[in-house]
């Protein structure tokens, strides 16, 4: 079903995924309006969308996701909300109160504003990390929405994303003031890569400092399935179309879906090498130290940081749970999203890799200049 004439809200519209989703909406749907919500919106973001906006109105909304009155203003008259905003933190560097306030309370306030303002559809951007891996490092290969798994979340990030997702799904079918009912669903993308991915660029920058040799932090057999940002945006569009369709709504409403694509299953480290190798980067053959020793070192760092906590807050560069995540086979199929949402990846692995590598190449001069400046 088309979103023609709809008014869509995109929170986090200036982020990595947000900008890609806004552009896709402009290219494929004749919307009445897209409301770009973020803490700060650069004029450049609006200007770069000018070539594909057509008659769609682009409206910037700058504000805090924790401001309920502001959120009601953003949602007033809207039909679809894409909630992308969250603090992403895999090092537990952000204070718990801050990440909870943004990721959980912000999502709850946005849900409440959506209900109060008669929004029909609410799509929440979750993460694969709400599933795990658990502290035992138990693997999942080609998991589905029905996969049973003993999950033990360690990061505040994964905990808050899980709670926000649960609140979103519980709000499905809530009665709206106008007599209609809210439809919600949650999308769980794998690790997202592509043009603009700051994590990927960070690994490449480390490789530059290491003489164009990427660090290996994951074993080759710890295979995962990253997903291209363009395909994640397409998954969001299909979710909105499905919730607006009375027939598909009964299938998708109140459910979560894994979003992956046909990117080969490789370890995180080998994926970094796959997209950087055409630019002359090599990769370490082995982990810097055996994995068991790595865990011991992480334990010592965590213990030292805990002892220092009464005097100074120090964040260890690597925690045991992150090391487990990097070294656990953990992959999921997109067949559920294909069946219920009509999602099919728009970009092949070859095209996604080419686009990503070209973007990295465009950033290399800046990264090398930063290194020389130091």
Q: What is the CATH number of the domain that holds 158?
A: 3.40.50.720
The rounded distance, in Å, linking the Cα atoms of 331 and 28 is: 30
Position 282 in a domain: no
The active-site residue, picked from 157, 191, 193, 334, is: 157
Instruction: List the chain residues with pLDDT less than 50.
Output: none
Task: Convert the pLDDT of each residue in 208-260 to its tens digit.
Answer: 999 999 999 999 999 999 999 999 999 999 999 999 998 888 999 999 999 99
Cβ–Cβ contacts within 10 Å for residue 193, how many? 23
Place of tokens 């004749």: 30
Task: Convert the pLDDT of each residue in 283-323 to its tens digit.
Answer: 999 999 999 998 999 989 888 888 888 888 888 888 888 99
The rounded distance, in Å, linking the Cα atoms of 346 and 352 is: 10
The confidence score (pLDDT) of residue 171 equals: 97
Contacts of 178 (CB under 8 A, 6+ apart): 118
Interhelix angle 198-209/268-276, rounded to 10 degrees, is 80
Position 232 in a domain: yes
Reduced to 3 states (helix: H, G, I; strand: E, B; else coil), residue 259 is strand
Position 303 in a domain: no
Report long-range pairs for 241-244 (Cβ below 8 Å, ≥24 apart): 241/1, 241/2, 241/3, 241/341, 241/342, 242/1, 242/185, 242/340, 242/341, 242/342, 243/80, 243/120, 243/121, 243/123, 243/183, 243/184, 243/185, 244/1, 244/3, 244/6, 244/79, 244/80, 244/120, 244/121
104-to-87, 114, 185 alpha-carbon distances in Å: 10, 15, 16
The rounded distance, in Å, linking the Cα atoms of 274 and 96 is: 35
Q: Is 157 among the catalytic positions?
A: yes
The confidence score (pLDDT) of residue 50 equals: 62
Angle at 15 between CA 144 and CA 170, to 5 degrees: 45
* Closest among 286, 288, 280 to 368, alpha carbons compared: 280
User: Counting Cβ atoms within 10 Å, is residue 5 exposed (0-12), middle (13-18) or buried (19+)?
Assistant: exposed
* Closest among 246, 34, 79 to 178, alpha carbons compared: 79
* Closest among 191, 188, 214, 192 to 341, alpha carbons compared: 188
13-to-123, 124, 176, 224 alpha-carbon distances in Å: 14, 14, 26, 27
CB 62 within 8 A of CB 41: yes
The rounded distance, in Å, linking the Cα atoms of 109 and 233 is: 24
Domain span at residue 191 reads: 7-196+226-265+331-349
Domain total in the chain: 1
β-sheet bridge partners, residue 266: 224
Phi then psi for residue 266, to 5 deg, are: -145, 170
CA atoms within a 13 Å half-sphere pointing along the CA-CB vector of 260:
22
Q: Residues, the chain, total?
A: 374
Extract the tokens encoding 34: 């897209």
Cβ–Cβ contacts within 10 Å for residue 18, how many? 23
- What is the value of pTM for the model shown? 0.95
Position 207 in a domain: no
The confidence score (pLDDT) of residue 51 equals: 65
């Amino acid at each position: 079903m088309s979103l023609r004439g709809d008014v869509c809200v995109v929170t986090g519209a200036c982020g990595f995924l947000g900008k890609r989703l806004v552009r896709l909406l402009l290219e494929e749907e004749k919307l009445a309006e897209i409301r770009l919500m973020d803490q700060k919106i650069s004029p450049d973001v609006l200007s770069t969308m000018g070539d594909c906006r057509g008659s769609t109105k682009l409206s910037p909304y700058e504000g805090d996701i924790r401001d309920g009155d502001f959120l009601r203003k953003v949602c007033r008259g809207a039909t679809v909300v894409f909630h992308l905003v969250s603090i992403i933190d895999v090092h537990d560097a952000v204070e718990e109160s801050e990440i909870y306030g943004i990721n959980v309370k912000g999502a709850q306030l946005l849900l409440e504003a959506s209900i109060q303002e008669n929004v029909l559809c609410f799509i929440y951007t979750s993460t694969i990390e709400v599933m795990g891996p658990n502290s035992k490092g138990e693997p999942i290969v080609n998991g589905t929405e029905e996969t049973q798994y003993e999950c033990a979340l360690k990061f505040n990030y994964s905990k808050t994303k899980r709670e926000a997702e649960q609140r979103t799904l519980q709000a499905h079918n809530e009665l709206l003031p106008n007599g209609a009912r809210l439809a919600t669903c949650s999308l769980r993308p794998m690790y997202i890569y592509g043009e603009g991915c700051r994590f990927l660029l960070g690994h490449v920058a480390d490789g530059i400092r290491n003489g164009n040799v990427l660090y290996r932090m994951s074993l080759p057999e710890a295979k995962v399935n990253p997903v291209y940002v363009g395909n994640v945006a397409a998954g969001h569009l299909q979710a909105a179309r499905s919730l607006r369709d009375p027939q598909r709504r009964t299938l998708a409403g109140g459910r979560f879906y894994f979003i992956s694509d046909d990117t080969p299953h490789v370890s995180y480290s080998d994926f970094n090498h796959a997209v950087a190798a055409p630019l002359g980067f090599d990769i370490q053959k082995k982990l810097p130290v055996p994995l068991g020793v790595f865990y011991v070192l992480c334990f010592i760092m965590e213990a030292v940081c805990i002892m220092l906590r009464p005097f100074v807050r120090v964040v260890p560069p690597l925690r045991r749970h992150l090391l487990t995540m990097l070294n656990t086979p953990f992959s999921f199929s997109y067949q559920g999203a294909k069946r219920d949402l009509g999602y099919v990846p728009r970009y092949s692995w070859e095209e996604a890799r080419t686009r990503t590598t070209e973007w990295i190449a465009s950033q290399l001069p800046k990264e090398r200049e930063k290194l020389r400046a130091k």
